[in-house]
Chains A and B, each alone.
Chain A
Amino acid sequence: MKYLEAIGKYFIMIWEVFKKPTKWRIMKTLILKEIDELIFGAMGIIIFISFFIGGVVTIQTALNLNNPLLPKSLIGFATRQSVILEFAPTFTSIIMAGKVGSYITSSIGTMRVTEQIDALEVMGINSLNYLVFPKIVATMLYPFAVAISMFVGILGGWVAAVFGGFAPSGDFIQGLQMDFDSYHVTYAFIKSIVFAFVIATVPSYHGFYMTGGALEVGKASTTSFVWTSVVIIIVNYVLTQLLLG
């Protein structure tokens, strides 16, 4: 019952976010600020993780394809498929749920605790629109981050394959081009847009409706990370079934 109530409250919050918009002149500045913090601020960790994950996927694939009859190009093929279909959109989103989600929950939660949200409400401002809408718009640029993650992940795979002696560069690149289906990239981008919405809204919900003090802000950040990850994993399953099944 408690969960049903929370789900209902979450969807009411989403509805409220789009009501009574803030002046565009103000909103534009807020959106640019959020793009800087939520997307560009996360690029460093996304690039770092993607590079090494790509490398690890390549090494593990190479170690499991030790049959001399299997061509080395399969290493590139497997790396490409793993990175594009799953690692770049889903794994990166889980990382983002930790980094960006915690930031969103703690910043909104702190505003709640210090009555800054009440101050907005008293002024007659739709605080949900003011605080959450710019985050939703900013995270819609998330597919851009996922595209970079795909590129860097595959680059990491190539570096691991070539410099680790698992496959020659030509074979690896041939594998990258083998049976390429552009729909897989579209599928990854569709997933990442949905994940971006989840990353912007679930932590906002936990921050906005939290009660208590500084300790509860920390607890809310942890809870928000857990629930954002759970929602991403469930949505990932549903979207995969719908789009690829």
Chain B
Amino acid sequence: MKRALLAFAAVATLPVFTISPYVLNMAATAGIFVMLAAGLYIVVGYCGLLDLGFAAFFAIGAYTSGILATRFELPLVATLPAVLCATVLAGIVIGGPTLRLRSDYLAIVTLGFGEIVRVTATRLEITGGPTGIYGIPPLAADPVAFFYLVLVVTALALTGAARLGRSKLGRAWQYVREDEDAAEATGISTYRVKLAAYVLGSVWGGLAGVLFASQLSAISPASFTFLQSALVLVAVVLGAARNITGVILAAAFVAVTPELLRAFPDARYFLFGVLLVVVMLLRHRRRATA
């Protein structure tokens, strides 16, 4: 808890050193990505469900708020209730039937779901087709203010995820991850527990999508590809030594590294991949010697 507050305070001093919009923007991007990872951590880290289409909820959040804000000239904050409803509904529609099956099927269905959402957004008129939606009003226009907004929201999202993990529900998620049959035999309705993880994770993802829409003011299907889902999953897997701190660091790493490698446009993702492998190996060795 103390360490978390210290880290929060340390990050909060960033605008003291620089108010370069580029740096603050990158920090906000990293923050949004950390929030996404916190959401996926509920699903994958706690509950052990493999979700390969998490970007779908990111997209649903971003599009719901973007469409409502631009069509009805609403401030972005006013779209939050609708975003909550949309993500919960999507979570139930996808998770409801799928989570009755063994966990392996979820990976396939979520993979498909991610693509369906992206392709649907590309085809529909209301989502602006391939060009997407632009002119989304920001939550905060000033880069410093937006940076702090992202920082606070992400901190709340992380705290929320961590607290859920230390509750009855969070323990039930971990029972399911550890041994689903034993959890069921102990009287835990594993179906309901898994659905709760999936729906809560999607709410986190949807709210991160609202921040994303606010940051870019324009969204298009290109932001919600399988690569995005895969990167969030990479962050969770890389960071999940079964605690949420690792996920924060890993998510920041995954979000910022490709940006820092912009100087090498051709080899960017190649270098990123190599770095990922190196980090994974180092982490593995540290754990092995610990």
Q: Do A and B form a real pair?
A: no
Interface set of B (CB-CB < 8 Å, partner A): none
